[in-house]
Amino acid sequence: MCLLSLIVKNYILQGGFIVKKGIALLSTCLVITGIISACSAQSTSSSSQASSPTTQAATSNSQTSTSDQPTEVKIDMNEFSYSTGDIKVKAGEKIHFVLTNSGKVEHDINNDELKLDKDVQPGKTETLDWTAPSKTGTYQIICDKPGHKEKGMTLNLIVE
């Protein structure tokens, strides 16, 4: 009886040891898995953090343009180009153009359909308040001084 209980006790101890060892092994695995997943989560979050400023900037931009304040659009002109690439505005958006002619001859921005026509003398800056049409699309703005459009004075105004 005494021997049996010793065997049982021993068996339990050994069993317990094995179980403990098993738990230790399991927890080690879990820790390793945890570290690996933490590492991959970190790299994922760092890459998403890198792209978030762009998203934030885009959000704040759209917030500015939907307010009552007109959106300022600066265009510099010279022989024979506009400083800006494509200009994107929202349908019905109020725009405050600031047009600077840093060239040596007269230039303008012109689009009949959009009722845009503003001449700017060389070395001068003119402003023009204008409301974007409700019809979305891509409109071409040109300088309608003879030969200027052909020499590259065009830009796309995209109404979204």
Taking CB under 5 A as the binding criterion, the range among 13-21, 28-36, 107-115, 130-138 that sits at the site for Cu ion is: 107-115
Query: Quick check: 109 binds Cu ion (CB under 5 A)?
Result: no
Pairwise CA distance, residues 112 & 115, whole Å: 5
Kindly give, in sequence order, each residue whose CB lies less than 8 Å from that of residue 141, ignoring residues fewer than 6 positions away: 82, 87, 109, 110, 111, 114, 116, 154, 155, 156, 157
Pairwise CA distance, residues 74 & 56, whole Å: 23
Distance from CA of residue 128 to its chain's centroid?
Answer: 28
Query: Quick check: 120 binds Cu ion (CB under 5 A)?
Result: no
CB of 141 to Cu ion, least distance (A): 11
Q: Among 87, 153, 157, 159, which residue interacts with Cu ion (rule: CB under 5 A)?
A: 153
Q: Would you tell me how many other CB atoms lie within 10 Å of the CB of residue 79? A: 16
Binding mask 64-103 for Cu ion (x = CB under 5 A): ----------------------------------------
Query: Quick check: 143 binds Cu ion (CB under 5 A)?
Result: yes
Report the interface residues with Cu ion, using CB under 5 A: 107, 143, 145, 148, 153
